Structure 1
Amino acid sequence: MGLIHANQFELKVIKKIFWELLFLLGLALSINALTYLNFDSSYGFLKIKAAAVASGKYLPFYYLHVLFGGLILFAGFIQVSKWFRTKWKSFHRGVGYFYVLSILFCAAPGGLGMSFFVDRGPMVLISFVLQSALWFYFTLNAFLKIKRGDVVAHELWMWRSFSLTLAAITLRLYIFFSSYFFDLSQPMAYAIIAWASWLPNLILVEYFKGSLFASFKTKRHLHVQRS
């Protein structure tokens, strides 16, 4: 039993450090997103999207997705925080409305529109379109569940939504590290990154929060107890 308690303590410490690092990365991305308020079409990431910008259709989608996406990322951490949910309920509710409405009317539609300007092949397009659609669907369900008073279901759907919000971080991390080993100009290499940026996040939420892996987790728990 002592070993189990020690392992649980270590896991809590690792979990705390992990979330703190993730929050700092998210905060950095949120601040970086706000720098695009200069609305300079040749600034930062937009430098490599000159052809898309020249089309006259890309920038509205981009600004909707990026400017609101940065704030949504920060708001998401507040929404999944137990401390804010219990100590600052009114604030949690207000931030929740911002999170939901910003995704439904700005970030998800913006991301969907941007998907069609990513010239990396059909697998990348499918990944980003599906991600945007699921992000919208998960967030809408989270909103509908809480309006009906189903707090448990609301929390699960919110975690699903947040897992896709976190793709803003994981996508950039994977691109940064993979660029040292792979040629990301190749459609297949970028397709792997595109899918890996959000699908594992969602699988982890289903494992820890959902019922998809309930049978597996029960068997694993029994095995740990017996050992």
Structure 2
Amino acid sequence: MKKFTWGFLFLSGAALTINALTYLNFDPRYGFLKIKEQAVASGYYLPFYYTHVIIGGLILLVGFVQVSTWFRSKWTKLHRMLGKFYVYGVLFFAAPGGLVMSFFVDRGLAVLISFLAQTALWVYFTSAAVIKIKRGKIAEHEVWMWRSFSLTLAAIALRLYIFFASYFFDLSQPIAYAIIAWASWVPNWLAVEFYFRDRRILPTKQV
């Protein structure tokens, strides 16, 4: 079951990454951008959209590799290189892009708060992971990276929930979209917390 779940998530992530890379055509009327005409007209939405979507798609796949115990032990140097790409991608591209995009999501205050909270925690978790590894605390670094990656996986969860929920609910209603927005990342994060608490690893008091 575990292998099936991770296989499904990886394939979903790969599909999401491939779709993200199609935006390298930089056509402001392509795909999702067709319904964001007002945002595009603002003049500063597009740069943040491209950095969030394209870099976000890449770090999603990198994240799957980075959390692999086998990969970390077999390819230590490459793990470090990809780790830097992941960190820089989150902190300087994907997270800032997501932050700006949040203000163009006209789905109500609850959705905005969800996206802002997710972005803030994404930056915090990723930064904490960097601090831990610089201090040589490898086990704690791993936990913080899992926390960060749990929020990266929200990209998959959000789209899956929207796809399935659209058949049963009216997503034009703010409450429906708000539930999906929060559900796309909070359960992921909680799953990581429960998993590592069972392993008696609790690096939450100090960063």
Same fold, TM exceeding 0.5? Answer: yes
Gaps of 5+ in 2: 202-207
1:64 matched to which residue of 2?
51
Structure 2 residue 28 is the aligned partner of structure 1 residue 41 = yes
d(CA) in 1 for partners of 2:9 and 2:196? 19
1:55 matched to which residue of 2?
42
- Does the CA contact (< 8 Å) of 1:156 and 1:210 recur in 2? no
- Does the CA contact (< 8 Å) of 1:53 and 1:59 recur in 2? yes
Q: What count of residue pairs does the alignment treat as equivalent?
A: 201
SS of match in other structure, 1:207: helix
- TM-score normalised to structure 2 length: 0.95
Structure 2 residue 13 is the aligned partner of structure 1 residue 22 = no
Task: Give per-residue Cα distances to partners, 1:98-133, cap 9 Å, x unaligned.
Answer: 000110000001000100000000000000011011
Q: CA deviation at 1:209?
A: 1.8
d(CA) in 1 for partners of 2:183 and 2:200? 20
Q: CA deviation at 1:56?
A: 1.1
Query: Which segments of structure 1 move beyond 6 Å, counting only runs of 4 or more?
Result: 211-214
Structure 2 residue 154 is the aligned partner of structure 1 residue 187 = no
1:85 matched to which residue of 2?
72
Amino acid in structure 1 at the alignment position of 2:29:
S
Amino acid in structure 2 at the alignment position of 1:47:
K
Gaps of 5+ in 1: 1-13, 215-227
2:154 matched to which residue of 1?
167
Tell me the C-alpha RMSD between the 2 structures. 1.4
1:224 matched to which residue of 2?
none
Structure 2 residue 113 is the aligned partner of structure 1 residue 129 = no
State the identity %: 69
Q: CA deviation at 1:55?
A: 1.2
- TM-score normalised to structure 1 length: 0.86
178, 193, 199: which is aligned to 2:186? 199
d(CA) in 2 for partners of 1:21 and 1:64? 25
Structure 2 residue 122 is the aligned partner of structure 1 residue 110 = no
